[in-house]
Amino acid sequence: MAQIFISHSKRDEDIKNLFLRAFRGTGVTDVYREYENAPPSGVKAEDIARDIEFSSAVFVLLSETVESLPHTRDWILFECGVAAAKQKPVWVFEPHGSFGRITVAIPRFDHYVRFNDNDIWLQYVHQIVASHNDNPMLARLASAALGGLLWGWGGAIGLFLASQLLFRPAERPVGYSRSCPSCGRIFVVHLPYETDAFRCPNCRFQNLYLSPELVPQ
């Protein structure tokens, strides 16, 4: 079964609750490691590395709580470093209302999401999670294996192609591809409104917009 590692502060109960609900019914397991009171070393660090190794992605839940807790920031940066080393996709999530008040820099990430705590964004996060479910691909491979046992290579290819119509993964929200003019980082941004400003999680450059027409004069 697919899993996603959640890098977060255990004190952000409201944010964590939103993500706990978003994982329901996706077939994807959410993995939490909560060691805020110690530096990432020894067996705990090894546990985290193992969890990330077996995860399809890493979700980084940034918040004003994370901003105020040095130990938590250290943990999150360590976990992001592990994700980078293992080439796992990193999704950075920030509450819509905390915009401009979070300065934690994430050097390597793929998606940046400004989310609201409402049913619309609950479903949006649910869709992101479900898109990491690897069960459809496992079902396709199992079909191909069965076809190979029964009819050889031709049967394997035929059943694999046919299974693509039956076992389809959830579609991942597309978002908007953006390049930061300051650090050059290319990432996908997901916003509640197309007119929203956002900042690059790597360099925290000044407010960015999807269109030049939206930049305040």
CATH ID of 3-132+171-214, from 3.60.20.40, 3.40.50.410, 3.40.50.720, 3.40.50.2300:
3.40.50.2300
Over residues 100-122, mean pLDDT: 95
DSSP code at position 56: S
What percentage of the chain exceeds 70 in pLDDT?
77
Cα distance between residue 112 and residue 125, in whole Å: 12
Q: Which residue did the predictor score with more confidence, 62 or 37?
A: 62
φ, ψ at 171 (rounded to 5°): -75, 135
Query: What is the residue extent of each domain of the chain?
Result: 3-132+171-214, 135-168
In which residue are the tokens 């978003």 written? 22
Position 138 confidence tier, pLDDT thresholds 50, 70, 90: very low
- Residue 142, pLDDT > 60, answer no
Looking at residue 107, its pLDDT comes to 92
Read off the pLDDT band of 165 (50, 70, 90): very low
Comparison of pLDDT for 147 and 145, the residue scoring more = 145
How far is it, in rounded angstroms, from Cα 111 to Cα 44?
27
What is the C-alpha to C-alpha distance for residues 191 and 106, in angstroms, rounded to an integer? 18
Q: Is the pLDDT of residue 129 over 80?
A: yes
Q: Is the pLDDT of residue 146 over 50?
A: no
One-character DSSP codes across 18-50: HHHHHHTTSS-EEEE---TTS-S-HHHHHHHHH
Query: Which has the higher per-residue pLDDT, 123 or 137?
Result: 123
Q: Which residue has the tokens 């999530």?
A: 93
In this prediction, residue 182 has a pLDDT band, given cuts at 50, 70 and 90, of: very high
Q: Tell me what percent of the residues of the chain surpass a pLDDT of 90.
A: 60
What pTM was computed for the model? 0.82
